[in-house]
Amino acid sequence: MPAPGDRITQRADGRWMGRYTVQTPTGTERKSVYGRTYKEAQKKLALAMGDAARGIVYDDESQTVGEYIAQWLSDSAKHTVKATTYRTYESQIRNHIVPALGKLKLSRLTPAHLQTLYAAKLRGGKKPAGVRQMHAILHKALEQAVRFNLIPTNPASKVDPPKVRQEEITPLSAEQANKLLDVTRNEGDRFEALYVLALTTGLRISELLGLKWSDIDLDAHRLRVSRQLQRGQGRSGEGLIFTEPKAASRRTVDLPAPTVETLKRHRKGQVEEKLKAGGAYQDNALVFAASLGTPLGPEKVTQRSFKPLLKRAGLQDIRFHDLRHTYATLLLARGVHPTYVQRALGHASVRMTLDRYSHWMPSMGRATAEAIEAVLG
């Protein structure tokens, strides 16, 4: 095989060009890499030839942003992130990044292109959090392009994404939470145990719907969070799948005695449903399942059960996730130490808990003043 240097020539514009041949599904093609110096072109050519030998083909002169990021999504992101994260990547790329930048040559992408895109999205009504998410995807994809020597620097590193104001939460008061539970109890709501568990453990809806009976020890009054139920990859979601939660979210949660009693009633009702359905029942050992035992999508619980329940209870329209916020704020308002709340919620750090809920904690100013007075008074 000829040395890379045998295939490098200098162009009229002063740049050095390396040429190599690859086999593609449409036949033999000549590809090019470019460098500002001979050594840079030599290095990029060697890397490109190595990739080509493994079936990976790049062309840093003619490749567009759309072509590159599509290949990054399928070859890299798909195999390194969770299904839900991949679905977010795919949606952002398809709906926002490719329409705006897709036809632009990768080698000519500048920070100004990205800053203009972000500003346009903000003017169009996209929330700052969504724009920051788009920026994170671009930064990650372009960082790989730098490592692969397709571009010299990452243009996303020189752009300032918009700041995000913390989203307002609308937790229920203790009175409202009790009213919600009273309605589910009085009506014999099929999902009574779901709402009781949400309000007494703070579990996310994906964690609740991923629970299996083997995760719950009713005698010890304890449950273990070891999986979550989420949508799969791709535009349609490809159905519901079980995934592992992040390390901090894998936790054991103690259950109040009334919650245990509610779960026992729920299990009895589930056994009756199984007997009634007969051979049509698909037993997945899920704590919360559809009438035939199959997994429940979060949107079905929210739209068909939770939203109507709020109306029947005469409560404001909130998100299911606000039940988790209710759990946290009620505990903190009662003086429970933030570290215990952090662990129960599965937050990675107590700082995350304090940043989110500090203004819901009772003032400690008087206690602080009295303490220093006792020491120095």
For 82, the 3-state DSSP assignment is coil
Nearest C-alpha neighbor of 45 from the set 35, 29, 30, 33 = 33
Pairwise pLDDT comparison (55 vs 212), residue with the higher score? 212
Query: Is residue 127 domain-shared with residue 186, that is, in the same domain?
Result: no
In a domain, 336, yes or no: no
- The highest-confidence range among 142-146, 223-227, 362-366, by mean pLDDT, is 223-227
From 132, 158, 184, the end of a domain falls on: 158
Q: What is the mean pLDDT of residues 117-122?
A: 94
Query: Is residue 128 domain-shared with residue 189, that is, in the same domain?
Result: no
pLDDT at 16 (0 to 100): 87
pLDDT at 79 (0 to 100): 87
Query: Is residue 88 domain-shared with residue 189, that is, in the same domain?
Result: no
In a domain, 205, yes or no: yes
* 1 band by pLDDT with thresholds 50, 70 and 90: very low
Domain CATH number, residue 77:
1.10.150.130
Query: Is residue 233 domain-shared with residue 138, that is, in the same domain?
Result: no
Query: Is residue 245 domain-shared with residue 123, that is, in the same domain?
Result: no
In a domain, 228, yes or no: yes
pLDDT at 4 (0 to 100): 45
pLDDT at 6 (0 to 100): 53
Q: At what angle do helices 174-187 and 321-333 cross, to 10 degrees?
A: 130
In a domain, 52, yes or no: yes
pLDDT at 3 (0 to 100): 47
Domain that holds residue 217: 174-319
* 149 band by pLDDT with thresholds 50, 70 and 90: confident
* pLDDT tens, residue by residue, 275-310: 999 999 999 999 999 999 999 999 999 999 999 999
In a domain, 123, yes or no: yes
In a domain, 305, yes or no: yes
Nearest-angstrom CA–CA distance, 73 and 77: 5
For every residue of 315-372, DSSP letters joined together read: -----THHHHHHHHHHHHHTT--HHHHHHHHT-S-HHHHHHHHGGGSPP-HHHHHHHH
Query: Is residue 202 domain-shared with residue 227, that is, in the same domain?
Result: yes
Domain CATH number, residue 212:
1.10.443.10
Whether the per-residue pLDDT at 26 is higher than 90: the answer is: no
Tally of structural domains, the chain: 2
* 248 band by pLDDT with thresholds 50, 70 and 90: confident
Q: What is the mean pLDDT of residues 176-197?
A: 96
CB neighbour list of residue 95: distance below 8 Å, 6 or more residues apart: none
Query: Is residue 106 domain-shared with residue 184, that is, in the same domain?
Result: no
Query: Is residue 135 domain-shared with residue 34, that is, in the same domain?
Result: yes
* pLDDT tens, residue by residue, 217-240: 999 999 999 999 987 654 444 578
